[in-house]
Chain A
Amino acid sequence: MSDNFGFTETPASSGRELTYLEAIAEAIRLEMERDENVLVMGEDVGGGFGGAFKVTKGLAERFGDRRVLNTPIAELGFTGMASGMALMGLRPIIEMQFADFISTAFDSIVQFASTAHYRMDAAVPWVIRAPSDGGIRSGPFHSQNPEAWFVHTPGLKVVAPATPADAKGLLTAAIRDDNPVIYFEAKPLYRSLKSTVPAGEHVVPLGSAVIRRHGTDVTVISYGSMVHQVSAAAEAVEADGISTMVVDLRSLKPLDVETILEAAASTGKVVVTHAANRMAGVGAEIAALIAEEAFESLDGPIVRMGGADTPVPFSPPLEDAYRPDAAKIAGAIRELAAW
């Protein structure tokens, strides 16, 4: 769309400081301007309200109700509907009000959308935005990180940005991808994290991890909000003379196998951590991958650190006990470094 609705754009070469939430909103707006087939749908996303977290605020005024579709509470129905729209060439961005609610739409995601191309050669290019993650005292039904269910499902792609720049770049790539993509946005970062985001078009390819910090003693692999806990832990152990490499996966499916293996082999000591519970989590797959493919480079056991195998509890002492954090991760790094 050539008309820019009066918004001022910064030249593409420069970046501005945006919050994680603003970066998501900018990606949606730019893609809706670029492609008439892109639309937003979900509970409370329309009108002047703009969704439970206000990510879509202002979109209905700019693009109209046709492209910003407020849905009834019917995740199974409207996610299935998005698949039908996608079969016809539209590119729906579905806002799942909370990632936790995605289970109510599970059948349409893992049975139809993920298999349609394999079975009938028909692309289903939708994105589900799933506000995930806890640590903000939201209890068992509003704090989950259910990415492992979808990483286990062939035909889906799964991403989890940790920074505002990646939030924009990965969402842009997800919208343009011809496959169903589940985009786990870390709601604790929405307004708490602000950093430089490239203006204009910014695409981060799906399947590319990034080294956030170079180090020589221990490699810590993570994604989403936990990357920031890992970075804090890396700072903390530096005082003890431990040099930590930090890998931000960004994309959980497909995995950037090359970067993971190189990073693991370069230090020979690996911690994998995420906020989702540890049992059969993404970390288990990463650990197995490294054990199979980089065994000879290892100088210690691969350490997995995840949430406890419990529902995500509400009360602060319980939730803090549930979640990994910088202090716990620093402890794991120190222990492994000394191994």
Chain B
Amino acid sequence: MDEPTQIEMYAWMKLTRTFDEQMVAMWKQGRGLGGTFSGRGHEAISVGAGMALGPDDVVAPMHRDLGTYLVRGMRPERIFGNMLGKATGASRGRDANLHGVGDLDLGIIGFISHLPQSLPTTLGVAMAFKYRDEPRAAMTFVGDGGTTSGAFHETLNMAGLWQAPFVLVIENNQYAYSTPLDQQMHSPNFSERASVYGITTVTVDGNAVIDVFETCAEALERARMGGGPTVIEATTMRMLGHAIHDGAEYVPAGLLEEWERRDPVTNHRKHLLESDVASEATLDQLDATARERIAAAIADAEGAPMPDPDTLGDGVYA
């Protein structure tokens, strides 16, 4: 992979991580609004997948995929604004945190609650591309938790049946809220599950951004060229609680320590340094830029106006 792309991956992951850390800090300081979700530990997936998307592809990220929104061009001001309920937020105060941070002009369908409702919706996007014979792909994400729901299986059945240009990334982050994998399903073999539906399946280290990127890029290209759907299992770990209020005491400390050693941002940085792709100074500069960018976004969002109550009814109908 070319060096500028590898460095770009770091920049996006660092921006995502910085956003996430600042967001968590703000909420802990009581400067947030409502609940929010951290994607800490998921940056390689959200950034790797986001960078693999083509300009005409459409993506429906979930609440751990901040990086995808950013890579796709959603300005951090609009996301922070959304989280603070501001008129300048992506949903204009209508929806919370990463829910509703959608913009079809950017090819983003905002996080669809309830999971895994993004699967059938995204399949519909893929089927629209197929209907019009356009070389485009539709991608979405789900956690291990969402794979046990009926909509997951209904969607994969139809995606396989119609060989839709559909790519699903399963972010296997070990926990559905407080419930570990072994209490969710008999056999957590996601590739096996998807393959019976006639879908290409791949398992990838979800903390290795280059691997995620390459796997997603290949799947998306296959979809665009008429090669049908792919399910990618990206293994990772949810490093914080389900949401900001959740201390996740139910996760064994040892497990978190083990995954901390596999931190996607730290490890990619290490890779760039060890392989002489980038210097410490270059990466430090990117870190500083990320901090400045996020500080500016927070300042913008905190200073932005709240929505006018008179607009309450606007947009219920198209």
The answer to whether A and B assemble together is yes
Q: What is A's interface to B at a CB cutoff of 8 Å? A: 39, 66, 71-72, 74, 76-90, 107-108, 111-112, 117-125, 154-155, 157, 178-179
B120, B122, B128 — most chain A CB neighbours (10 Å): B120
CB proximity of B155 to chain A, nearest CB, Å: 5
Structural contact, A84 and B121, CB atoms closer than 8 A: yes
A-B pairs with beta carbons under 8 Å apart, 11 shown: A71-B158, A77-B120, A78-B154, A80-B117, A88-B58, A119-B102, A119-B110, A120-B90, A120-B110, A121-B104, A125-B318
Structural contact, B112 and A90, CB atoms closer than 8 A: no
| A88: chain B residues within 8 A (beta carbon) | 58, 124-125, 128-129
Structural contact, A111 and B154, CB atoms closer than 8 A: no
CB contacts between A and B, total, < 8 Å: 130
Q: How far is the CA of A122 from the CA of B126 in the complex (A)?
A: 17
Structural contact, B316 and A107, CB atoms closer than 8 A: no
| A80: chain B residues within 8 A (beta carbon) | 117, 119-121, 123-124, 151, 155
Structural contact, A84 and B157, CB atoms closer than 8 A: no
Interface size on B, residues (CB 8 A): 41
| 1/0 contact string of B59-78 vs chain A (CB within 8 Å) | 00000000000000000000
Q: A77-B158, A80-B124, A119-B99 are in contact. List 12 more A-B contacts (CB 8 A).
A: A72-B161, A74-B158, A77-B123, A77-B154, A84-B124, A88-B128, A89-B128, A111-B117, A119-B95, A122-B104, A122-B109, A123-B318
- Contact flag A154-B316 (CB < 8 Å), given A76-B151, A112-B112, A120-B103: yes
Q: What is B's interface to A at a CB cutoff of 8 Å? A: 58, 90-91, 94-95, 99-104, 109-110, 112-114, 117, 119-129, 131, 138, 150-151, 154-155, 157-158, 161, 315-318
Q: How far is the CA of A76 from the CA of B117 in the complex (A)?
A: 9
| B315: chain A residues within 8 A (beta carbon) | 117-118, 121
| A121: chain B residues within 8 A (beta carbon) | 103-104, 315
Q: How far is the CA of A324 from the CA of B117 in the complex (A)?
A: 38
Structural contact, A111 and B316, CB atoms closer than 8 A: no
- Contact flag A179-B318 (CB < 8 Å), given A77-B151, A87-B125, A90-B128: yes
| B102: chain A residues within 8 A (beta carbon) | 119-120, 122
Q: How far is the CA of A44 from the CA of B74 in the complex (A)?
A: 41
Q: How far is the CA of A25 from the CA of B95 in the complex (A)?
A: 39
Q: How far is the CA of A78 from the CA of B127 in the complex (A)?
A: 11
- Contact flag A81-B123 (CB < 8 Å), given A76-B154, A119-B94, A121-B315: yes
Q: How far is the CA of A123 from the CA of B95 in the complex (A)?
A: 16
Structural contact, B157 and A72, CB atoms closer than 8 A: yes
Q: How far is the CA of A157 from the CA of B317 in the complex (A)?
A: 9
Residue of B nearest to A83 (CB): B121
Structural contact, B117 and A84, CB atoms closer than 8 A: no
Structural contact, A84 and B127, CB atoms closer than 8 A: yes
CB proximity of A77 to chain B, nearest CB, Å: 3
Instruction: Specify which of A78, A111, A117 is in contact with B114 (CB 8 Å cutoff).
Output: A111
CB proximity of B264 to chain A, nearest CB, Å: 28
- Contact flag A84-B122 (CB < 8 Å), given A77-B151, A111-B114: yes
Q: How far is the CA of A107 from the CA of B114 in the complex (A)?
A: 8
Structural contact, B104 and A86, CB atoms closer than 8 A: no
- Contact flag A81-B138 (CB < 8 Å), given A112-B112, A117-B316, A117-B317: no
Structural contact, B124 and A87, CB atoms closer than 8 A: yes
Q: How far is the CA of A72 from the CA of B109 in the complex (A)?
A: 25
CB proximity of B34 to chain A, nearest CB, Å: 15
Structural contact, A111 and B113, CB atoms closer than 8 A: yes
Residue of B nearest to A123 (CB): B318
| A123: chain B residues within 8 A (beta carbon) | 318
CB proximity of A250 to chain B, nearest CB, Å: 18
